[in-house]
Amino acid sequence: MDIPLRTHAITQARPAHLRYSRTWDAGVSSIAEARDAVGALLARARPAPGRRSVQDAQLVVSELVTNAAKHAPGPCALRLELPPGAGTLLITVTDTSRQAPRRRTPDPGRIGGHGLLLVSMLSRELEVTWLPRGKRVTATVPLAPAAAC
């Protein structure tokens, strides 16, 4: 007896493309809110990323949002994207500053000014896109599975 193939097909649910976005009108109300958003988004990821990957992503978002709040007047926005199966988190911060992000020479004696160096170390890619009223900075942060961390 031949049974049509369609009756044997198993539908697998594709993992969702997880996203988060938030815009602040004037500066950022809470850097902690941005870090919490990363944690909440990655808690929904399957497979779950390891604790170290989550902390790395939270540090990157914290540095990028802090820089936007510190150096750009006016609104800024955060967008997080976790494509299914990509193993990376895209962190995008948009602000109104026309100044390029500047990576400073490492100086262990200096307080501050190390953020972009940390972002570069923890990101696979760091891209700046110029916009009519500012810029968009996108960091691609690799995520290792929980067992690998």
**Element holding 129 (H helix, E strand):** strand 125-131
| Residue predicted with more confidence, 30 or 10 | 30
Number of structural domains found in the chain? 1
**Residue 11 placed within a domain:** no
Q: Taking each helix axis as running N to C, give the angle between helix 51-71 and helix 115-122, from 0 to 180 degrees, rounded to the nearest 10.
A: 140
Host domain of residue 120? 17-148
**Residue 12 placed within a domain:** no
**Residue 3 placed within a domain:** no
**Residue 76 placed within a domain:** yes
Cα(74)–Cα(111) distance, rounded to whole angstroms?
Answer: 26
Residue 121 phi/psi, 5° resolution?
-70, -35
- Could you tell me the two tokens for 87? 């193993």
**Residue 4 placed within a domain:** no
Q: For residue 148, what pLDDT is reported?
A: 54
Q: Report DSSP state, residue 104.
A: P
Contacts for 97 with CB less than 8 Å, ≥ 6 apart: 68, 71, 72, 73, 134, 135
**Residue spans of alpha helices (H) in 2-142:** 31-43, 51-71, 115-122
**Residue 73 placed within a domain:** yes
In a 3-state reduction of DSSP, which class is residue 113? coil
- CATH code assigned at 132: 3.30.565.10
Cα(86)–Cα(75) distance, rounded to whole angstroms?
Answer: 30
pTM, 2 dp:
0.84
**Residue 136 placed within a domain:** yes
pLDDT band at 70 (very low <50, low <70, confident <90, very high): confident
**Residue 61 placed within a domain:** yes
Q: For residue 106, what pLDDT is reported?
A: 74
Cα(55)–Cα(39) distance, rounded to whole angstroms?
Answer: 8
pLDDT band at 103 (very low <50, low <70, confident <90, very high): confident
Q: Which of 43-57, 65-79, 84-98, 107-121 has the lowest mean pLDDT?
A: 107-121
